[in-house]
C-alpha cells in the first residue's frame, strides 16, 4: 500500500506502532508513526510529536504481521 504525502501527520499525541520504539543511551526515544511510517522522536509521555509526513525513501519497512 502506498501512503500519499499527507503534509502534517495526525501523529501529534498518537502512540507509535507497537514494538517500534527505541532508545539509545543519552538520546530521546523514537517510534514509528502509524500514519506515515516515518521514525520520529517521542515526547516525554511516549507519544509522537507533531511532524511532517515522512518522505517515501525515509519510511520504515514494516513486516505484515507487525
Q: Is the pLDDT of residue 57 over 90?
A: yes
Q: Is the pLDDT of residue 6 over 60?
A: no
Q: Is the pLDDT of residue 1 over 50?
A: no
| Cα–Cα distance for residue pair 23/63, rounded to 1 Å | 21
Per-residue confidence (pLDDT) for residue 8, from 0 to 100: 56
Residues in the chain: 66
Domain boundary assignment for the chain: 6-20+28-54
| Cα–Cα distance for residue pair 40/49, rounded to 1 Å | 7
- The predicted model scores a pTM of 0.72
Per-residue confidence (pLDDT) for residue 52, from 0 to 100: 87
Report pLDDT digits (tens) over 22-44.
887 666 789 999 888 999 999 88
| Cα–Cα distance for residue pair 14/34, rounded to 1 Å | 8
Amino acid at each position: 500500500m502506498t501512503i500519499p504525502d499527507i503534509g502534517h501527520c495526525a501523529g501529534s499525541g498518537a502512540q507509535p506502532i507497537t514494538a517500534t520504539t527505541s532508545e539509545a543511551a543519552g538520546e530521546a526515544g523514537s517510534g514509528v508513526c502509524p500514519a506515515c511510517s516515518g521514525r520520529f522522536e517521542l515526547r516525554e509521555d511516549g507519544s509522537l510529536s507533531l511532524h511532517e509526513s515522512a518522505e517515501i525513501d525515509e519510511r520504515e519497512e514494516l513486516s505484515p504481521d507487525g
